[in-house]
Amino acid sequence: MTGTSSLDGRVVVVTGAAGGLGREICRNLAVAGARVALVDLPGAPDLAEVAESVGGLVCSADISDSDQVRSALRRAEEGLGPVNGLVANAAFMAMGALTDQAPEVWWRQIEINLIGTFHTCQAAAQRMVRQGGGAIVVVASEWGVTGWPLATAYAASKGGLVALTKTLGREMMPHGVRVNALAPGVIDTPQLEVDALAAGVSRVEIRERYAEAIPLGRVATPAEIAGSVRFLLSDESSGIVGQVLQPNGGTTRARA
Amino acid sequence: MVSGAASGIGSATTALLQARGWRIAGLDLAASSADLSLQADVSERAAVEAAIALAEAELGPIRLLVTCAGHYEMTPFMEIGAAQLDRMMRVHVGGLFNCCRAVVPRMRSRGSGQIVAISSELGIAGGDGDAHYAAAKGAVIALVRSLAVEVVGAGIQVNSVAPGPCDTPLLGPDSPWRDPSYLRTLPLGRLVTPQEVAQSVLFLVESGSFFVGDVISPNAGAAI
């Protein structure tokens, strides 16, 4: 994972920055020279510590509220300078059977993952267009391409992000904003505990179950997914527009 | 080992990998600026096997294979002759097959290796007047995805880069792909460069450790 993409001096907003993947993305981008604005829920555990460790700026927001998103972007710009990049990574998942899941729980996942990402992309793109360009990376999911049992809302929201990315790739590139997505397979983050809980097994057990179904024989590390984010933000991917990269260890079911 | 190393994407990939410290054996009909320039036709299986054996003898174990060798011609479907079809398949599908047949046993015995096959956006989306080229590149993608899951357990990672319309010698000066009226239809508004394609190859090589059988398409938004 010795990516070489340089993001020297660029200002990148990362949502879901305190999460397992989010904090690794912040670290990776900071190492590549980016100045990072960390967006997560007010009071998200470790957010201040992660920000301090990457020399970044905390800009708390609930991304499902467009006003909060706008003010977070404004704080990022005031504190760090014009925003050149966005990593729309924030997500919420609640596993549950179709027949049991409460509509509020279903809706909350759509509200954060899909609508929240829309708010974030819109607020960031408006600034990027004004200043002549930028790059957006949307973190979707393998499950948004394949679907997954007990993840109806999560999969639907992530599938929505794939279509959103394709649309924004077409719509925003002529304005200088390059939009792409990642649809990662299972990543070794604390999120695995959510799945483990739903399946009634331990985190180690659920990780082994996932690994068995992946041709590569293991789940992804946060660092290798963060490396893909960095590539898509950097000029090294300048010919890539509206695409969905799928680091999934070879799961042949997934084709965006 | 880079096939098609003498021009276009192969040449750009060779230069970028060399800048990153790789020593490159270039395989091409023409002489290339690789560290070791081998001249052979990728559609000839024995010649490919011999070239790869020579490359290992001269430079050491092949850790990476990038297959860029190819040719392009636009021909209406009803005018594609048997010889044209045969050559298109022999160079693109046969060439990839031959190169992989030669390196996979070597990589397998060492328990590691990487292969990146250059395919094409036309192999994903198809194209008007491109039936035999698109069919050959589509077959390359299917071969990549199949081989990828077959050899990943042996420590070999196989992926593809599917460039969109690219500014290489494969497109003549009068090519319709260079026409401003076509370029305006691309979200990026221009052809991709061989260097941009090479950057995607480099990404897979250096940071693509969780990619298996994937197809990354730097295509200027031609196929989304």
> Using one digit for the tens of pLDDT, what is the confidence trace for A172-186?
999 999 999 999 999
Tally of domains within chain A? 2
Residue B167 has a CB neighbour count (10 Å cut-off) of 17
Asked if the Cβ–Cβ distance from A236 to B145 is below 8 Å, we say no
B149-153: Cβ within 8 A, 24+ apart:
B149/A215, B149/A250, B149/A252, B149/B212, B149/B213, B151/B104, B151/B107, B151/B108, B152/A215, B152/A216, B152/A217, B152/A250, B152/B212, B152/B213, B153/A215, B153/A217
Residues A236 and A125 in one domain: yes
User: How many residue pairs bridge chain A and chain B with CB atoms within 8 Å of each other?
Assistant: 112
Instruction: Give the model's pLDDT for residue A3.
Output: 47
Instruction: Give the model's pLDDT for residue B95.
Output: 98
Instruction: Give the model's pLDDT for residue A114.
Output: 98
Here the tokens at position A137 are 């990376």
Residue A147 has a CB neighbour count (10 Å cut-off) of 16
Residue B74's pLDDT band (cuts 50, 70, 90): very high
Residues A120 and A209 in one domain: no
Instruction: Give the model's pLDDT for residue A254.
Output: 66
Instruction: Give the model's pLDDT for residue A95.
Output: 87
Instruction: Give the model's pLDDT for residue A191.
Output: 87
Q: Is A236 on the interface with B (CB under 8 A)?
A: yes
Which of A23, A27, A35, A158 does the annotation list as catalytic? A158
Cα-based angle B88, B208, B110 (whole degrees, multiple of 5): 80
Asked if the Cβ–Cβ distance from A227 to B207 is below 8 Å, we say yes
> Using one digit for the tens of pLDDT, what is the confidence trace for B137-148?
999 999 999 999
> Using one digit for the tens of pLDDT, what is the confidence trace for B82-92?
999 999 999 99
Kindly report the average pLDDT of chain B as a whole number: 97
> Using one digit for the tens of pLDDT, what is the confidence trace for B149-186?
999 999 999 999 999 999 999 899 999 999 999 999 99
Per the CB < 8 A criterion, the answer to whether A187 and A134 are in contact is no
> Using one digit for the tens of pLDDT, what is the confidence trace for A138-157?
999 999 999 999 999 999 99
- Least Cα distance to A28 among A46, A57, A48, A6 occurs for A6
Residue B219 main-chain phi, psi, to 5 deg: -130, 15
- Residues B33-62: what's their mean pLDDT? 98
ipTM over 0.85? The verdict is: yes
Asked if the Cβ–Cβ distance from A215 to B149 is below 8 Å, we say yes
Asked if the Cβ–Cβ distance from A170 to B197 is below 8 Å, we say no
Per the CB < 8 A criterion, the answer to whether A145 and A159 are in contact is yes
Provide the shortest C-alpha distance from residue A229 to chain B (in Å).
11
Per the CB < 8 A criterion, the answer to whether B157 and B148 are in contact is yes
Asked if the Cβ–Cβ distance from B224 to A231 is below 8 Å, we say no
Contact residues on chain B for A1, CB-CB shorter than 8 A: 207, 209
Residue A28 lies in a domain: yes
The secondary structure element, H or E, covering residue A85 is strand A85-88
The residues of chain A scoring below 70 in pLDDT are: 1-5, 253-254, 256
Per the CB < 8 A criterion, the answer to whether B153 and A217 are in contact is yes
How many helices (DSSP H) and strands (DSSP E) are in chain A? Answer: 10, 7
Which structural domain range is residue A121 located in? 11-185+221-245
Domain of A170, CATH number, reads 3.40.50.720
Residue A252 lies in a domain: no
Contact residues on chain A for B206, CB-CB shorter than 8 A: 2-4
Place of tokens 């480099």: B202
Residues A229 and A119 in one domain: yes
Pairing of the two strands B156-161 and A57-58: unpaired
Q: Is A115 on the interface with B (CB under 8 A)?
A: no
Residues A144 and A193 in one domain: no
Residues A140 and A231 in one domain: yes
The single-letter code of the amino acid at B112 is: S
Contact residues on chain A for B214, CB-CB shorter than 8 A: 245-248
Q: Is B206 on the interface with A (CB under 8 A)?
A: yes
Dist. CA A209–CA B114, nearest whole Å: 26
Instruction: Give the model's pLDDT for residue A4.
Output: 52
Nearest to A250 among B202, B203, B213 (CB): B213
